[in-house]
């Protein structure tokens, strides 16, 4: 909030969002058999601070998906193709508690 230098104008309010330097979120996709990291991406630390990201794994297989983070609220949506002929209903959206 600040006051205008001109008394004929109304006050102006602005909103700014500050990202905590301690906040980060990381997703690691590992091969289930070898434990090797296939893909990884995140927010903060060594990653960018873009708030909307897409991480794609383009090879089939069995994977372990790890989430880690600090001082952040994250929403994760996963799309996994179903085998032909199966009827799948999404369970919901994953959300980290605040």
Model confidence pLDDT, tens digit, residues 66-97: 999 999 888 888 888 778 888 877 766 666 66
pTM above 0.75, yes or no: no
Q: What distance in Å separates the CA atoms of residue 29 and residue 16, rounded to the nearest whole number?
A: 34
Residues 5-20 pLDDT 10s: 666 667 778 888 888 9
Count of CB atoms situated within 10 Å of the CB of 56:
8
How far from chain centre, in Å, is Cα 58? 19
* The total number of residues written for the chain in this structure: 98
């Amino acid at each position: 909030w600040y006051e205008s230098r001109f008394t004929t104008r109304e006050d102006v309010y602005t909103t700014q969002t500050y990202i905590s330097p301690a906040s980060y979120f990381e997703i690691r996709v590992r091969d289930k058999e070898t434990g090797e990291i296939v893909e990884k991406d995140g927010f903060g630390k060594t990653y960018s601070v873009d708030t909307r990201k897409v991480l794609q794994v383009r090879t089939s297989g069995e994977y372990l998906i790890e989430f880690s983070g600090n001082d952040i609220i994250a929403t994760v949506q996963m799309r996994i193709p179903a085998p032909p002929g199966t009827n799948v209903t999404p369970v919901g959206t994953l959300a980290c508690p605040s």
